[in-house]
Amino acid sequence: MPTVSVKRDLLFRALGRTYTDEEFDELCFEFGLELDEITSEKEIISKEQGNEKAEGASDVVLYKIDVPANRYDLLCLEGLVRGLQVFKERIKAPVYKRVTPNGEIQKLIITEETARIRPYAVAAVLRNIKFTKDRYDSFIELQEKLHQNICRKRALVAIGTHDLDTLSGPFTYTAKRPSDIKFKPLNKTKEYTACELMNIYKTDNQLKHYLHIIENKPLFPVIYDSNGVVLSMPPIINGNHSKITVNTRNVFIECTGTDFTKAKIVLDVIVTMFSEYCENPFTVEAAEVVFPNGKSYTFPELAYRKEIVRADLINKKVGIRETPENIAKLLTRMHLKSEVIGDGNQIEIEIPPTRADVIHACDIVEDAAIAYGYNNIQMALPKTYTIANQFPLNKLTELLRYDMAAAGFTEALTFALCSQEDIADKLGLDISATKAVHISNPKTAEFQVARTTLLPGLLKTIAANRKMPLPLKLFEISDIVVKDSSRDVGARNYRHLCAVYYNKNPGFEIIHGLLDRIMQLLNVPPGEKKGGYVIKASEGHL
């Protein structure tokens, strides 16, 4: 779950009232958020680096709020406040508009070189925006959160924000050889080539995680303005020239990536959240993006989608009995502006660009239920009448378990994953003869294979308990895994029973006796006759 850190007092000021911690926790619970932690910068540093390093750090109270992974509109203070205010019916959801500028529209031209490395780009402009330190910090933080979540650590989409007044369009998004890219990156004092930067950032704790996305590729993505100024080298770093500060008034936003849909969603999220601070609130200036095939698109999309859902469907799915008008009110509180239409039973819902998570009527049903309050719904028992059946293998397992314990053996529970040695070398077998299933990239040797026999697990258990009073009598009835090409996945489980006797004497007759007892319980007679059992020596190994 993504966590958003907001200054409590800033949050309360924006909400227009204060809450006690308990009241706010309750509000979060209702809405589907979780107030995970109440802390401060000082506390955080203190916990991570000790009290001395924390001296002088801010003790402004921070709320750490867990947000559902699909709600990109709640990843910053602005979005949280807007969501909560609409939920509490204190404000109406804003209407986001894309406007065409009076003068030249900003253009971003994509060349065909990007096709093999990072083909998609979208862009937009936030015109006449007013930042304060807090708003600026929030703006940067939101980009980071989006990068970590929907952008899949910048691999799918990377965001670049620039001071438009330091640049001059049209902009070109292309890909060049690393040695041919030279610019002064963010917060550095001289120019470097891309090759040098890739080296420098190897030791940068933040950026080193993204290098692999373009490393070793023949061409690196890069965005220039008409004067050859580098805006950014996505997804690694922006140029210092177009750096945004608290005083920036006009912001050019570009998102590049490998997933077109996500790039569009990300752009929509950023501009809807922060256009609040534009001179013309909630308006975003359009930008044009021209693709290599000549097709041109205007962004941001800021699409509003309409869906029509029957009121009785919502009532039926949730288990409530609200009037269509009430349901429309509930949905409007969830940022889904709704009104009753048609025969009085249909509800037309307007899905705003901030709710890209709503893709089916069931998403609308959930929002109606949340606004109604889950804990207000009346509980009922399904009238589904069924006769229960046990899975035969499990039924047999349960019966045998009790009888094994009655026979004086103690049940163990061991891991299904182990090392290759455990199931091969240590048992005198070659690993290829075991038909074991192998795991790719195991973190340790303990996760190399899935067990093909229960014996190693029990032996390890005995080894760990060998100081206990003797004898140790252990058993386990559980699954092993082997390859099997007759199954759809190519492997299957078998249910095995394993018992071990550990004492100063080996006690073969004890295990033999246990086996006889098990066969007795299973009604399998001893003897060579059909349906009977015999014991034979195996060839030197297990």
Subset of 489-518 contacting other proteins (CB under 8 A): 489-493, 495
Distance between CA 491 and CA 438 in Å, rounded?
Answer: 11
- Fill in the amino acid letter for 400: L
Distance between CA 277 and CA 244 in Å, rounded?
Answer: 15
Smallest separation, CB 348 to other proteins (Å): 16
Smallest separation, CB 461 to other proteins (Å): 11
Angle, helix 392-406 to helix 508-521, in steps of 10 degrees: 130
Q: Which stretch binds other proteins (CB under 8 A): 16-24, 97-105, 199-207, 317-325?
A: 317-325
> Scanning residues 130 to 169, which ones bind other proteins (CB under 8 A)?
152, 156
Q: Which stretch binds other proteins (CB under 8 A): 105-113, 294-302, 399-407, 518-526?
A: 399-407
Task: Find the length of the chain.
Answer: 542
Q: Return the half-sphere exposure (C-beta side, CA atoms, 13 A cut-off) of residue 291.
A: 14
Smallest separation, CB 524 to other proteins (Å): 22
> Scanning residues 434 to 493, which ones bind other proteins (CB under 8 A)?
437-443, 447, 450, 473, 475, 479, 481, 483, 485, 487-493
Smallest separation, CB 167 to other proteins (Å): 32
Question: Is the CB of residue 474 less than 8 Å from the CB of residue 458?
Answer: yes
- Classified as helix, coil or strand, 315 is helix
Give CA angle at 215 (209, 221), nearest 5°.
100
Distance between CA 133 and CA 144 in Å, rounded?
Answer: 17
Select the residue interacting with other proteins from 308, 406, 470, 524 (CB under 8 A).
Answer: 406
- Between 29 and 304, name the residue whose CB sits nearer to other proteins: 29
User: Using CB atoms within 10 A of its CB, is residue 512 exposed (0-12), middle (13-18) or buried (19+)?
Assistant: exposed
**C-alpha distance across the termini of the chain, in Å:** 47
- Between 106 and 453, name the residue whose CB sits nearer to other proteins: 453
- Fill in the amino acid letter for 173: Y
Per-residue x/- track, 263-302, other proteins (CB under 8 A): ----------------------------------------
Question: Is the CB of residue 157 less than 8 Å from the CB of residue 11?
Answer: no
Smallest separation, CB 443 to other proteins (Å): 7
Query: The tokens of 178 are what?
Result: 């690393």
> Scanning residues 337 to 396, which ones bind other proteins (CB under 8 A)?
359-363, 365-366, 369-370, 374-375, 377-391, 393-394
Smallest separation, CB 354 to other proteins (Å): 15
Query: The tokens of 220 are what?
Result: 């690196």
Select the residue interacting with other proteins from 5, 39, 40, 70 (CB under 8 A).
Answer: 70
- Between 121 and 233, name the residue whose CB sits nearer to other proteins: 121
Smallest separation, CB 371 to other proteins (Å): 10
Residue 210 binds other proteins (CB under 8 A): no
